[in-house]
Amino acid sequence: MSRIFSGIQPSGEITIGNYLGAIRNWVRLIDEHDSIFCVVDQHAITVEYEIAELPKKIFDAAATNIAAGLDPAKCALFVQSRVPEHTELAWYFNTVTPMGDLGRMTQFKEKSKQHRENINVGLFGYPVLQAADILLYKADRVPVGEDQVQHIELARDIARKFNARFGPIFPEPQVILSPTPRIMGLDGQAKMSKSMKNYIGVLEEPASIRSKLAVALTDENRKRRTDPGNPDICNIFTLHKSLSSPEEIDRVNVECRRAGIGCVDCKKILADNMIRELDPIREKFRELERRPDEVHDVLEKGAARCRTIAAATMDEVRRAMGLR
Ligand code: AQP
């Protein structure tokens, strides 16, 4: 059975971008793969963060994933810092990773602009730690959103370089993209992301979802209700494609183009469908909040299983590198 690995940062509210671009796909994949998912807290500390808030964010990220369908009976879910081999392997990978490759990473360039006051070595080496996350478990498939494709290509390069120098230990992991690999922010300007305040949260209340959608950007060329719209360039239509029924998607597609439906009604259909999808997740999350020990137990069991796999890989790696 092939193994999948993927991670999510506890850096804020989990967005519908995370959900539609990654988590919903993970839930579909766990039946057919040996599946490992990780709350990557050591990645989240590469930008400024509130120390006192981090434990809750880690808990919320884990509980949201469970609530969204990551059944702990079918996969391992754990917190990255509970398995110290991640950072050890990252250090070894640093020795085969050219600085130039890291400097070319789009995410590094973007985050360096956003966090000019703290462009630290951890931020620069983020993709090396990510390669270690994946390869520690010899995962051969990595389900992610489009923004992470470049990092997985680098993980493949790192595996190749390491194997060429020290012997064939690691697979070269391949990306599995979700059907909606890039969800744009509500302003249509950039990728939806936790830090940009351009998102709808997976746990958001219906009233808040409706008011955010009400002001979300649609086809900018459609100035009046009577103007025909173009769903191909409308972010709301992309969300319909992820959340509405095939009949509704067809209807919106046709009616928008001939001004048979206005943006207000189109958004109302989307809001109804989004709320229907997210309501059970929020309810399950609230239940888990009332039973935090259950979540901690899942994470401890996940870490215990992952430590066993990690120890075996590191034994092989240290021997191959002459560290014994
Ligand atoms: N907008 C998106 N569309 C599709 N997939 C997305 N992912 C993230 N945003 C989108 C996918 O979600 C998984 C978890 O990634 P992450 O925790 O690194 O997500 P993030 O929200 O981008 O995290 P940040 O860096 O905390 O947020 P910002 O950018 O706000 O600083 C990944 O599989 C990712 O592809």
For 266-292, the pLDDT digits (tens) are 999 999 999 999 999 999 999 999 999
> Would the pLDDT of 109 be above 90?
yes
Ligand 1 atom nearest to 146, measured from its CA? 35
170 and 83, same domain (yes or no): yes
Q: Does the annotation count 111 as an active-site position?
A: yes
Q: What is the mean pLDDT of the chain?
A: 97
119 and 179, same domain (yes or no): yes
Report the amino acid identity of residue 27: V
> 321: buried, middle or exposed (CB in 10 Å: 19+, 13-18, 0-12)?
middle
CATH of the domain at 221: 1.10.240.10
How far is the centre of ligand 1, averaged over its atoms, from the C-alpha of 317 (Å)? 30
Q: Does the annotation count 191 as an active-site position?
A: yes
297 and 264, same domain (yes or no): no
Question: Would 199 be classed as within a structural domain?
Answer: no
Instruction: Please check whether residue 279 is in contact with residue 206, taking contact to mean a CB–CB distance below 8 angstroms.
Output: yes
Question: Would 194 be classed as within a structural domain?
Answer: no
Numbers of helices and strands, H then E, in the chain = 15, 5
pTM: 0.96
How far is the centre of ligand 1, averaged over its atoms, from the C-alpha of 111 (Å)? 13
> Would the pLDDT of 223 be above 90?
no
Q: What are 22-74's pLDDT values in tens digits?
A: 999 999 999 999 999 999 999 999 999 999 999 999 999 999 999 999 999 99
Q: Whose CA is nearest to atom 26 of ligand 1?
A: 11
Q: For residues 4-16, b (16+ Cβ closer than 10 Å) or e, as one string?
A: bbbbbbbbbbbbb
Token pair listed for 36: 């490992």
> Would the pLDDT of 107 be above 90?
yes
pLDDT of residue 93: 98
Q: Whose CA is nearest to atom 33 of ligand 1?
A: 144
Instruction: Please check whether residue 14 is in contact with residue 61, taking contact to mean a CB–CB distance below 8 angstroms.
Output: yes
Separation between Cα atoms, residue 142 and residue 135, nearest integer Å = 10
pLDDT of residue 194: 87
pLDDT of residue 301: 98
Radius of gyration over every alpha carbon of the chain, rounded to an integer in angstroms: 21
pLDDT of residue 1: 83
What percent of the chain has a predicted confidence (pLDDT) above 70? 100
At 312, give phi and psi (nearest 5°).
-65, -45
Ligand 1 atom nearest to 193, measured from its CA? 30
> 211: buried, middle or exposed (CB in 10 Å: 19+, 13-18, 0-12)?
exposed
What are the CA-CA distances from residue 306 to residues 34, 40, 144, 299 (Å)? 12, 14, 20, 10
Q: Whose CA is nearest to atom 20 of ligand 1?
A: 193
Q: Does the annotation count 57 as an active-site position?
A: no
Token pair listed for 303: 């870490």
At 104, give phi and psi (nearest 5°).
-85, -10
Measured from CB, residues less than 6 Å from any atom of ligand 1 are 6, 8-9, 11, 15, 17-18, 21-22, 144-145, 147-148, 181-183, 191-196
Range of the domain at 210: 206-285
Q: Which of 16, 18, 148, 243 to mutate to test the pocket of ligand 1 (most atoms within 8 A of CB)?
A: 18
At 145, the pLDDT band (50, 70, 90 cuts) reads very high
pLDDT of residue 85: 98
Residue 214: CB atoms within 10 Å? 12
How far is the centre of ligand 1, averaged over its atoms, from the C-alpha of 23 (Å)? 10
> Would the pLDDT of 230 be above 90?
yes
DSSP track, 68-81: TT--TTTEEEEEGG
How far is the centre of ligand 1, averaged over its atoms, from the C-alpha of 198 (Å)? 12
65 and 23, same domain (yes or no): yes
pLDDT of residue 21: 97
218 and 258, same domain (yes or no): yes
From the candidates 56, 194, 197, 284, give the one annotated as an active-site residue.
194
What average pLDDT score do residues 191-204 get?
A: 93
Q: Whose CA is nearest to atom 31 of ligand 1?
A: 195
25 and 163, same domain (yes or no): yes
121 and 26, same domain (yes or no): yes
What percent of the chain has a predicted confidence (pLDDT) above 90? 94
What average pLDDT score do residues 236-262 get?
A: 96
From the candidates 113, 191, 223, 301, give the one annotated as an active-site residue.
191
What average pLDDT score do residues 90-102 get?
A: 98
Question: Would 271 be classed as within a structural domain?
Answer: yes
Q: Whose CA is nearest to atom 15 of ligand 1?
A: 8
Q: Whose CA is nearest to atom 14 of ligand 1?
A: 8
CATH of the domain at 122: 3.40.50.620
pLDDT of residue 299: 98
Token pair listed for 76: 């391992």
Cα–Cα–Cα angle for 63, 65, 71, rounded to 5 degrees: 95
Instruction: Please check whether residue 24 is in contact with residue 8, taking contact to mean a CB–CB distance below 8 angstroms.
Output: no
41 and 156, same domain (yes or no): yes
How far is the centre of ligand 1, averaged over its atoms, from the C-alpha of 278 (Å)? 18
* Residue 316 CA, distance from chain mean position: 29
How far is the centre of ligand 1, averaged over its atoms, from the C-alpha of 191 (Å)? 8
Q: Which residues pair with 184 in a beta bridge?
A: 191
pLDDT of residue 162: 98
- Number of folded domains in the chain? 2
Contact residues for 283 (Cβ-Cβ < 8 A; gap 6+): none
Instruction: Please check whether residue 97 is in contact with residue 130, taking contact to mean a CB–CB distance below 8 angstroms.
Output: no
Question: Would 191 be classed as within a structural domain?
Answer: no
In this structure, the chain runs to a length of: 324
147 and 20, same domain (yes or no): yes
Question: Would 189 be classed as within a structural domain?
Answer: no
Instruction: Please check whether residue 305 is in contact with residue 84, taking contact to mean a CB–CB distance below 8 angstroms.
Output: no
pLDDT of residue 226: 87
Range in 15-19, 191-195, 310-314 with the lowest mean pLDDT: 191-195
pLDDT of residue 24: 97
